[in-house]
Structure 1
Amino acid sequence: MSMAFDLNERLAADTWTVKDLALCRVLLMNDKRYPWLILVPRREGLRDFHDVAEADKATFLAEIDHASAVLKVQTGAQKMNVAALGNIVPQLHVHVIARFEKDEAWPKPVWGLGEVVPYRPSEIGGLIEVLKKGLLG
């Protein structure tokens, strides 16, 4: 399998890079209303879960699980939402979103509600460092 990897331009425009794990690039969605990681397997041509090579599946699921646990600990989230839709961005990516009963979308999904609130430059560096430390691997 080819190891070429190009991040979809929309994902690149909407996120900050946190780090690369063994399989996935971990991104932070640039919307501080919801602590939100996106995991993108660094493999060419993946669109859906069944496209992930058998040899990568255990790593993929373990990295999703690990990112969920780290984000929950770092945010104190009441609920973790994990989803892979791909209707707009065709590149396989998994959303890991920390949810709180007090967030503006609760209990609905976060997509399409309200206006994005980007992180300020002074906020993003420290948050990414904390997430990197939690995401050892």
Structure 2
Amino acid sequence: MSDFHLHTQLEADTHFVADLALCSVRLMDDARYPWLILVPRRANIREVYELDNSSQHQLWHETTLLGELLMLVSGSEKLNIGTLGNVVSQLHVHVIARNSDDATWPGPVWGVGRAETYESETLTVLIDTLRMKIAELPSYSF
């Protein structure tokens, strides 16, 4: 684990929220969508199948927990989960809460329009809320 480094593009595009047992949880800096990025803290991993079985299960567990949490916090209608990696090859999972009136519905969020950065106060409140809700998860101790 000590060899893990976050890809520079993920570092630039996201804000740290919390570390779970496997993943670093990050908030995408795009206020158009409630959008988390989960990055397994393992060095040189590009694909899910490169994780051992236990880590694969943990990744899915953390993804579904954070997806449910994001839906509760945002009050959104639909959850999108994806692992594309076409631009950033480091394994990361997109967890995006969507609404039928959002900027790109029903299409994908990638490559459409420009990201709208969070205002400072809104960002602080959202990250604090996410951290509080993560700490309340029954399996946060993992």
Q: How high is the TM-score relative to the length of structure 2? A: 0.93
Q: How far did 1:3 drift?
A: 4.2
Any stretches of 5+ residues in structure 2 without a counterpart?
none
Secondary structure of the 2:72 match is: helix
Q: How far did 1:53 drift?
A: 1.3
Work out the CA distance in 2 between the residues paired with 1:70 and 1:78: 13
Q: How far did 1:4 drift?
A: 2.1
Equivalent runs, 1:19-30 vs 2, <5 Å = 19-30=18-29
Which segments of structure 1 move beyond 4 Å, counting only runs of 4 or more?
Answer: none
Write the letter of the residue equivalent to 2:134. Answer: L
Q: Is contact 2:18–2:131 with CA below 8 Å preserved after alignment? A: yes
Aligned to 1:63: 62
Secondary structure of the 1:125 match is: helix
Write the letter of the residue equivalent to 2:59. Answer: F
Secondary structure of the 1:119 match is: coil
Equivalent runs, 1:37-116 vs 2, <5 Å = 37-116=36-115
Q: Is contact 2:27–2:36 with CA below 8 Å preserved after alignment? A: yes
Write the letter of the residue equivalent to 2:98. Answer: R
Q: CA RMSD in A?
A: 0.9
